[in-house]
Structure 1
Amino acid sequence: MASYGTNSIFWRFSLAIMIIATIFIPNLCLAKQTKINGLKMNVIDQCWRLNSEWRKHRSQLATCSVGYAGKMINSIGKDLIRYKVTDPSDDPTNPKPGTLRYGASVIQGKVWIKFQRDMHIKLERSLLISSFTAIDGRGVNVHIADNACLMIFKTTNVIIHGIRIHHCKAQSPGEVVGPDGKVIPLGKVDGDAIRLVTASKIWIDHNTLYDCQDGLLDVTRGSTDITISNNWFRNQDKVMLLGHDDGYVRDQNMKITVVYNHFGPNCNQRMPRIRHGYAHVANNLYQGWVQYAIGGSMGPSLKSEANLFIAPTTGSKEVTWRKASYKDGDKWEFHSVRDAFENGASFKVTKGGRVPKPNYSKEQYFNVVDVKSVRSLTRWSGTLRCSKTSRC
């Protein structure tokens, strides 16, 4: 009897251990895996990419933005219209239902756009995107290329995510459906991949941009509260312009966050070029340049923080360029904080004065990590490859 009692206690104890292991060990393994994955991802990607069912919850992406755009929650809610692009054709003045232009310009309200399948969209004229619109290319391979491209014109709360935009061409004046759904005249367009004109609260994330006639991204005419994150900019002369022109003083209020992007290879200049306003440029990877990486004029302010600058093998090793605009020299503030420089790269900082802070609100704030992690943080820059059965 004593032996039986001892065996009974042993087996009860063993069963209890097995139950505990069944309940807790998978959770521990999941937590460990999440931590490992988290180390490979920046804070934006951690917010949604760890969820293998992101397709069922696409609009969760709106809660993941950081920087001056803030959270994009004004673009979602119970009244959200979910729209699927099924037709790659384009009519600039009378778009058909199922086309990208119909969803982005004609439909008004909160619109979340996804794509039925891989597509190559050749826009006849610039696509003017309505306020509170998200263009979400995750899960498929979408190219907007070989003619007109994207314009965010006098609108707010726009997300552009997961699109390949390239070989954009200049356009002559013509008519197009405007951001209010009505046909309007549109002047000459230079051939940028994405151009912002008097736009606010815009998030441009995980796109691949290259080989356009003018630039890849222009932020102009009083546009502000912009976050440019996780994009891959390559094969381009003029990459990113922040500020319309030297005489447009309204751009003094411009605030831009440029974070987790990969610049290069084969980029020449403007990563970015800043006029008048303020830019927080953090945790980006610079894979060479020809003329310069970061430039400015008209008294811009820049905080370059924990970026990795890899100078080209030949040519200019200096990261910065400044255009003198006043008789007494331009009054800019270019500061480098915790940046890393390889292959002889150097950064001419402003002597004396303060380092301009971004002064983010709680919803805009993010932690700028050590520059040693930049290669890891930018590993997934550009459009993501998302299989149908797993995470991106």
Structure 2
Amino acid sequence: MRVRHIAVIVGLLGLLCVPAHADARDISRDTLPANDGWASDGAGTTGGAAADDAHVFTVTDRAGLVRALDGGSDTPKIIKIAGTIDAGTDDDGDHLDCADYATGGYSLKKYLAAYDPRTWGSARPSGPQEEARQASAAKQAERIVLPVGSRTTIVGLGDRAVLKGASLQIKDADNVIVRNLELRDAYDCFPVWQPNTGGLGDWKTAYDTLWLRGATHVWIDHVTASDKGHPDAKEPTYFARNYLRHDGLLDITNGSDLVTVSWSRFAEHDKAILIGNADTATGDRGKLRVTLHHNEFSSVVQRAPRVRFGQVHLYNNRYVIPEDATDYRYSLGVSTESAIYAENNAFTAPGHVEVADLVKSWNGSALHQSGTLFNGYPVDLLAIHNAYNSGSERDLTADVGWVPTRHTAIDSAAQADREVARGAGAGRIP
């Protein structure tokens, strides 16, 4: 009897010692399924699936992540992020704050005094304080800008993998996967004052949380991106403008192409996703082909997304505009030569936000939409936009010149709304 009891106890202890997520599926060599959006075009997107064992890394701090990224090399690699990594740390792993980056005599107080519009006017900032700001910004960029090369997979382990304070940049790279990771607070210590922006001037920040620039075949899946920790709404006002600290959550620009963004969550931010960075970037024609499906946009002010030039398939996404969203501007931005094909998306909004507020156009001419729900009721975004905004914006047509052929099953907006609420974001890969 005693032996049997000991065996039972040993067995129970063994169960208790099983590490969390021990039975979790290894997703690090997953590749994008066939026909899952634009990134499945051609040879598809496989990331670092071909990496040999010597190039599979598990990293727990900035130093390890930098070594694994290898300066953005094209060597096939798989990088697994465990726990929380703070990009704003020194070589010993100690956290750096804005004062640690400041150099050349920079101080915010001196900068504000030097470029106060009442005395400086509308000229672009120049001179000692602007030079010091630029030098300080360069010091910060050295720490937080992390280049991602071709044939790379970056995945979070478990349901609590976080990369904070970083700007992941996929530049001139092909075949990249980023999955199951929370990207948080790409905080700019040194915004620049631009006197002529928007008529009244504005603060310009430097870092997108994730930036695709000249990138092709990229799959972003089950990512959560936000300003968590430092919301811009709590920043002070200088020169009558909010002192912004964050740029985009995801920018897809400079000829990037064949991108799928799926089952991700973009939250608590001003400018969420920009596709195409300039009306004059005519070299983007025929590129910027992007699929956005089963994503959630929660407490996002604008750009969900804003599109120039690109053929963008937008389906089964969930939009949540909170009751206190007094600064909400729009969700879908139709800009120069954009071709957005929107199907079965669901919007939930408070009473002061109307259907006509959801779409804004700048030089755009077309938007295909079908199956849209607004607070549970079917609406025609195109017809309402043309009826209510014809005085200030050009009418849009439904002919965007293309029909998507690469996509997963498209559910009703109501079903997608429920499924995305349960399944989008980091830590939720089934």
Query: What TM-score do you get using the length of structure 2 for normalisation?
Result: 0.64
Aligned pair 1:86/2:125, yes or no? Answer: no
User: Which structure 2 residues correspond to residues 151-230 of structure 1 after superposition, within 5 A?
Assistant: 151-170=169-188, 190-211=206-227, 213-230=246-263
The aligned residue for residue 54 of structure 1 is: 25
The aligned residue for residue 263 of structure 1 is: 297
Per the TM alignment, residue 101 of structure 1 is displaced from its structure 2 partner at its CA by 1.7
The aligned residue for residue 265 of structure 2 is: 232
Letter in 2 for 1:303: Y
The aligned residue for residue 45 of structure 2 is: 72
Q: Is the 8 A contact 2:265 2:424 kept in 1?
A: yes
The aligned residue for residue 131 of structure 2 is: none
Runs (5+) with no aligned partner, structure 1: 1-51, 91-98, 173-187, 325-329, 387-391
Q: Is the 8 A contact 1:139 1:385 kept in 2?
A: no
Letter in 2 for 1:89: R
Q: Is the 8 A contact 1:196 1:223 kept in 2?
A: yes
Change over 3 Å in CA distance of 1:78–1:348 after alignment to 2: closer
Q: Deviations over 1:49-102 (max 9, x none)?
A: xxx6522x6313444771011142364237475422334034xxxxxxxx1122
Within the candidate set 155, 158, 178, 1:139 is matched to: 158
Per the TM alignment, residue 139 of structure 1 is displaced from its structure 2 partner at its CA by 1.3
Letter in 2 for 1:381: A
Change over 3 Å in CA distance of 1:79–1:197 after alignment to 2: same
The aligned residue for residue 126 of structure 2 is: none
The aligned residue for residue 308 of structure 2 is: 275
Q: Is the 8 A contact 1:80 1:109 kept in 2?
A: no
The aligned residue for residue 149 of structure 1 is: 167
Within the candidate set 340, 347, 355, 1:317 is matched to: 355
Q: Is the 8 A contact 1:112 1:133 kept in 2?
A: yes
The aligned residue for residue 337 of structure 2 is: 299
Letter in 1 for 2:77: V
The aligned residue for residue 9 of structure 1 is: none
Per the TM alignment, residue 352 of structure 1 is displaced from its structure 2 partner at its CA by 5.2
SS of 1:69's equivalent in the other structure is: helix
Tell me the percent identity: 24
Aligned Cα root-mean-square deviation (Å): 2.7
Change over 3 Å in CA distance of 1:251–1:207 after alignment to 2: same
How many residues align? The count is 301
Q: Is the 8 A contact 1:169 1:192 kept in 2?
A: no
Per the TM alignment, residue 346 of structure 1 is displaced from its structure 2 partner at its CA by 5.9
Q: Following the alignment from structure 2 to structure 1, what is the Cα–Cα distance between the partners of residues 305 and 413?
A: 19
Per the TM alignment, residue 118 of structure 1 is displaced from its structure 2 partner at its CA by 1.3
SS of 1:134's equivalent in the other structure is: strand
User: Which structure 2 residues correspond to residues 369-388 of structure 1 after superposition, within 5 A?
Assistant: 369-378=411-420, 379-384=422-427
SS of 2:341's equivalent in the other structure is: strand
Change over 3 Å in CA distance of 1:217–1:101 after alignment to 2: same
Q: Deviations over 1:235-280 (max 9, x none)?
A: 111111000111101222221100000010x211100000122110
The aligned residue for residue 121 of structure 1 is: 86
Per the TM alignment, residue 384 of structure 1 is displaced from its structure 2 partner at its CA by 1.3
Letter in 2 for 1:256: V
Per the TM alignment, residue 169 of structure 1 is displaced from its structure 2 partner at its CA by 2.2
The aligned residue for residue 77 of structure 2 is: 111
Q: Is the 8 A contact 2:221 2:264 kept in 1?
A: yes
The aligned residue for residue 365 of structure 1 is: 407
Q: Following the alignment from structure 1 to structure 2, what is the Cα–Cα distance between the partners of residues 89 and 355?
A: 44
Per the TM alignment, residue 161 of structure 1 is displaced from its structure 2 partner at its CA by 0.7
Letter in 1 for 2:152: T
